[in-house]
Amino acid sequence: MADFPTSARVVIIGGGAVGASSLYHLARAGWTDCVLLEKNELTAGSTWHAAGNVPTFSSSWSIMNMQRYSAQLYRGLGEAVDYPMNYHVTGSVRLGHSKERLQEFKRVVGMGRYQGMDLDILGPDEIRSRYPFVETHDLTGALYDPYDGDIDPAQLTQALAKGARQMGARIERFCPATGVRREGDEWVVETPKGEIRCEIVVNAAGYYAREVAKMFGRDLPMMVMSHQYMLFDTIPELESWSKGVGHKLPLLRDVDSSYYLRQEKYGFNLGPYEGNCRAHWDKADDPMPEDFSFQLFPDDLERLEWHINDAMARVPLLAQANLTKVINGPIPYTPDGNPLIGPMPGVPNAFEACVFTFGICQAGGAGKVLAEWVTEGATEWDMWSCDPRRFTGFEDPDYCVAKGMEVYGHEYAIHFPHHVWPVGRGKKLSAVHETVAAMGAQFGPYNGWERALWYARPGDDTSEAAQRTWEREGPWFGAVREECLAVRDACGILDLPGFSRFRVRGAGTVDWLSAQITGKVPGIGRLGLAYFADEKGRIVTEMSVARIAEEEVLLITAATAQMHDKEWLLSTLPAGLTLVDESAEWSTQILTGPKAREVLAAAGAEADLAKGWLTWQVAQLAGRPIVLMRVSFAGELGWEIHSRVGDTPDVFAAVLAAGRPLGLRPFGMFALNSLRVEKGYRAWKGDLSTDYTVLQGGLERFVDWAKPAFRGKAALEAEKQRGVTKCFVTLTVEAGDCDPPYMSTIWHDGQVVGETTSGYFGHRVGKVVALGMLRAELAVPGTAVEVEIFGERYPAVVCEDAPLWDAKNERIRA
């Protein structure tokens, strides 16, 4: 075809709302030489049958940002591109049946306020003023969101497409991508109309994204759910009311009963998320079809009967309506329900913007984020919640189906801080898993690895139901306190499988690493913390560095960071250096407490136990080779014991046997969280994220300004000269029954002045401790502030710039 583009800067595969938004935002960023390929007509996938709801509500800070941006964009999009759009900003009422649900609402109200949105909590007696047809007798309250609404998905997509075309981007309809191949530094995208050479490819193929990913040799972690919603005919009473007041009802969500109810003209749209849900295209006898454009599944209303009856009891007006149509279409799900936006793992110059469960309300923000990834190499907001690299390859199809169904069936569930979802467990087990389990360990997954969260005592409630609380003193609290005090007074051991570890060697290794981190590379035999910044000086990641030899280092990082950090390292690794991922070969225990040295000696460790803090050594224990690293995330005298997986059971058994007479006790991740906040130690993707610069994060002591160059140095130097606007602080909080969740707002003199990034009860100091970011002028020891926890403000005070526990690190250096 003569006019078919044979080259482009970016090719986007998929013409739904997200693909069109990605094209639009790339063009807005000045990248107009972009082509979108759609196998059928625009919107042919999940977009065409989407209900089109546009909520801003989310308990995730980054996804709330994305949805808020979408709602703002859609308000002016039709006028901006001169395309008619049916966008109804009706507001929404989200019903609560319990105290815990109201607490969730209050938390989201605080987050929304910080993002500039005025959300509101309604008492039971106020709900009918917003929604006069609802029964309220058993409700505890509701959340009112004035920004919520609904939009026509086809019109939205066409408006984005028109805007992209106006700026010079191209769209090729009825043009599927049939293959891709790499030639030199270019991608060649194959289509029936011809080939397109490009720099960058984006997979925006929606529920077909896994098939597209196979072209790149990638097995995408996703599955497809069947989702139904029902359209009901005109109800005269609703029509009369709506015409009388001049607007539609707000969208109603009964989240504890798991459905939404929306006014559709003068009838209703009812959309349940049922527990007895249905996956599709997940078995050999139900394969993914070659094309499912503009198609639906057969109606399957029987499994929705409970939700229909509940909705009719909640809004009796619904019972008067005739059911006119059922929409039953495919919706894609990842194992955690969040989409994939960002670099395609293991594939150069390829990105993903796909697997959107709520693609209409997230499309605007997703396009912005994707365009930033492509054009700038980083995003304005830290988007780890959607980063494809959060999945590391263990997520096989059966796991994806099981987790997708679990997420769908609990779509509106509250995500409590100590609750662990039960499906898809046991994917990766420590070499001593059975031993740890026999001691009462209650587990949670970290990148698929089962780690002990806490150790139940006789009589402790270990049921899943008991985990569903915001309150601090759940059934784990007493056990965690005992674990922390054992670490304080004697010794504790934490089995910690799954650390990500990368060995880098070759001539130039140290010079390369020095240019990537803000601080110094430690000397041979030494350990150090290293911070990696991006070009804007923002915190990308934190790794422990062990200097093995003149030109060899071992980099250790979080289990969940495995794919992310590996790709970050490989992106700058020069020819001649080798990086080996040794994560699967080793296991780790943290042995920490004032008697740790005695325990190692009693276990017969053949090691120099007098070697100082931040050193490492090869040693022997139980006749097995180990590596001892003199470091402790718990803030006590301690070592990390690194052993080959096959040697770990013998090593662990020897330490347990030697330690029991000395008071050794196993401890879990909840106790470690308590111990680390007392020391002000940061957690990755909470306290450490690209939402903050290295200087804002209080990490200047890890910056070597004398180095001639390192990534982010220019930005950090400029920031240092002008002064930081916010600072990392430790707070003690006179909290009530609950610890401050992530992103709780900090107040001073009636103004929001910061946010918490971690919050937990410190058992050694006997106080609730919060880590967070505060306006620089207030980051002065002794400053009185307030921390908002579930709608209530609690007194807090800014602490000295030192750990609350063992401020001079005398115990850790003992």
Q: What is the pLDDT of residue 1?
A: 47
Token pair belonging to 247: 């607007």
Given a contact cutoff of 8 angstroms between Cβ atoms, the answer to whether 728 and 693 are in contact is no
Length in residues, the chain: 814
- How far apart (Å, rounded) are the C-alpha atoms in residues 691 and 82? 35
Q: Extract the residue ranges of the chain whose pLDDT is less than 70.
A: 1-2
- How far apart (Å, rounded) are the C-alpha atoms in residues 383 and 418? 23
Given a contact cutoff of 8 angstroms between Cβ atoms, the answer to whether 360 and 52 are in contact is yes
SS3 of residue 606 by DSSP: strand
Q: What is the dihedral of CA 535, 541, 546, 552, to 10 degrees?
A: -50
Which residues make Cβ contacts (< 8 Å) with residue 87, sequence separation at least 6?
A: 54, 74, 75, 78, 149, 150, 151, 152, 156
Nearest partner of 630 among 616, 620, 618, judged by Cα = 616
Distances in whole angstroms, Cα of residue 470 to Cα of each of 213, 419, 444, 760: 39, 10, 17, 12
Task: For residue 490, report the phi and psi dihedrals to the nearest 5 degrees.
Answer: -135, -90
Distances in whole angstroms, Cα of residue 180 to Cα of each of 185, 187, 189, 626, 740: 13, 7, 5, 46, 48
Q: Which alpha helices (H) appear in 96-232, and where do they start and end?
A: 99-114, 127-130, 153-166, 209-214
- How far apart (Å, rounded) are the C-alpha atoms in residues 529 and 536? 20
Nearest partner of 695 among 575, 793, 596, 776, judged by Cα = 776
Which residues make Cβ contacts (< 8 Å) with residue 428, sequence separation at least 6?
A: 394, 447, 448, 449, 450, 497, 498
Q: What is the pLDDT of residue 2?
A: 56
Distances in whole angstroms, Cα of residue 103 to Cα of each of 108, 120, 440, 746: 9, 13, 31, 17
Token pair belonging to 616: 């490492």
Token pair belonging to 532: 């990696």
Identify each DSSP E strand in 154-222 by its residue range.
170-172, 179-183, 186-191, 194-203
The amino acid sitting at 553 is V
Q: What is the pLDDT of residue 620?
A: 98
Residue 118: burial class (beta carbons within 10 Å; 0-12, 13-18, 19+): exposed
Phi-psi region of 467 (alpha: psi -120 to 50; beta: other; left: phi over 0): alpha
pLDDT tens digit sequence for 246-304: 999 999 999 999 999 999 999 999 999 999 999 999 999 999 999 999 999 999 999 99
- How far apart (Å, rounded) are the C-alpha atoms in residues 702 and 698? 9
Between the two ends of the chain, the Cα-to-Cα distance in Å is: 76
Q: Tell me which DSSP letter residue 628 carries.
A: E
Q: Tell me which DSSP letter residue 517 carries.
A: B
Distances in whole angstroms, Cα of residue 618 to Cα of each of 8, 584, 591: 54, 19, 16
- How far apart (Å, rounded) are the C-alpha atoms in residues 461 and 330? 39
Go through 730-739 and write b for each residue having 16 or more CB atoms within 10 A of its CB, e for each that does not. bbbbebeebb
Maximal CA-CA distance, the chain? 85
Which residues make Cβ contacts (< 8 Å) with residue 445, sequence separation at least 6?
A: 420, 424, 425, 427, 451
Nearest partner of 341 among 387, 300, 309, 372, judged by Cα = 387
Distances in whole angstroms, Cα of residue 285 to Cα of each of 79, 241, 280: 48, 50, 10
- How far apart (Å, rounded) are the C-alpha atoms in residues 39 and 211? 13
Structural Rg of the chain based on CA atoms: 27
Q: How far is CA 512 from the centre of its chain?
A: 30
Nearest partner of 712 among 370, 377, 372, judged by Cα = 377
Residue 627 CB neighbours (<10 A)? 20
- How far apart (Å, rounded) are the C-alpha atoms in residues 187 and 192? 16
Given a contact cutoff of 8 angstroms between Cβ atoms, the answer to whether 545 and 555 are in contact is yes
- Please work out, in degrees rounded to the nearest 5, the angle formed at the alpha carbon of residue 763 by the alpha carbons of 109 and 100: 30
Q: What is the pLDDT of residue 309?
A: 97
Task: For residue 648, report the phi and psi dihedrals to the nearest 5 degrees.
Answer: -60, -45
SS3 of residue 474 by DSSP: coil
Go through 427-444 and write b for each residue having 16 or more CB atoms within 10 A of its CB, e for each that does not. ebbbbbbebbeeebbbbb
Q: How far is CA 133 from the centre of its chain?
A: 37
What pTM does this model have? Answer: 0.96
- How far apart (Å, rounded) are the C-alpha atoms in residues 412 and 98? 14
Q: Which alpha helices (H) appear in 82-202, and where do they start and end?
A: 99-114, 127-130, 153-166
